[in-house]
Amino acid sequence: MKKTITFLALALSMQAFSQMSVNRNRFNQFSFEADYGLTYTRNPNQTDYKHIGVGFRYMVNEYWGVKVDYAHDKIEDTGKRGTGSLYDRGSVQAVYNLGRCLNFRDLTNGTVGLLLHSGVGYSRLDPYENKRYDNIGNFIIGGTAQVYINDSFALRGDLSGILNFRQHVRFDSSPIGESYTGKMMTATIGITYYFGRNKNRSDWW
Is pLDDT at 201 greater than 80 in this prediction? Answer: no
Q: Would residue 5 count as lying in a domain?
A: no
Q: Would residue 8 count as lying in a domain?
A: no
- The stretch 82-90 carries a mean pLDDT of 88
| Amino acid present at 199 | K
Q: How many residues does the chain have?
A: 205
Q: Would residue 181 count as lying in a domain?
A: yes
The pLDDT score that the predictor gives to residue 141 is: 98
Q: Would residue 202 count as lying in a domain?
A: no
Q: Name the average pLDDT for the chain.
A: 84
Q: Which sign does the torsion angle of CA 27, 28, 29, 34 carry?
A: negative
Is pLDDT at 160 greater than 80 in this prediction? Answer: yes
How far apart are the C-alpha atoms of 195 and 167, rounded to whole Å?
Answer: 38
Q: Would residue 57 count as lying in a domain?
A: yes
Is pLDDT at 4 greater than 90 in this prediction? Answer: no
Is pLDDT at 186 greater than 60 in this prediction? Answer: yes
CB atoms within 10 A of CB 203: 29
Q: Would residue 19 count as lying in a domain?
A: no
- The stretch 51-70 carries a mean pLDDT of 95
Q: Would residue 151 count as lying in a domain?
A: yes
Residue 160, domain extent: 28-195
What does the DSSP 8-state code read for residue 14? H
The pLDDT score that the predictor gives to residue 142 is: 98
The pLDDT score that the predictor gives to residue 204 is: 76
Is pLDDT at 150 greater than 50 in this prediction? Answer: yes
Q: Which of 170, 194, 173 is nearest to 184 (CA)?
A: 170
The pLDDT score that the predictor gives to residue 44 is: 74
Give per-residue pLDDT as tens, 96-129: 999 989 988 888 888 999 999 999 999 999 988 7
Q: Which of 121, 73, 93, 106 is nearest to 33 (CA)?
A: 93
Domain with residue 92: its CATH number is: 2.40.160.20
The pLDDT score that the predictor gives to residue 114 is: 95
Number of structural domains the chain divides into? 1
Q: Would residue 109 count as lying in a domain?
A: yes
Q: Which of 140, 139, 153 is nearest to 192 (CA)?
A: 153
The pLDDT score that the predictor gives to residue 20 is: 44
How far apart are the C-alpha atoms of 19 and 13, rounded to whole Å?
Answer: 10
Comparison of pLDDT for 147 and 62, the residue scoring more: 147
Highest mean pLDDT (candidates 32-46, 56-70, 125-139, 185-199): 56-70
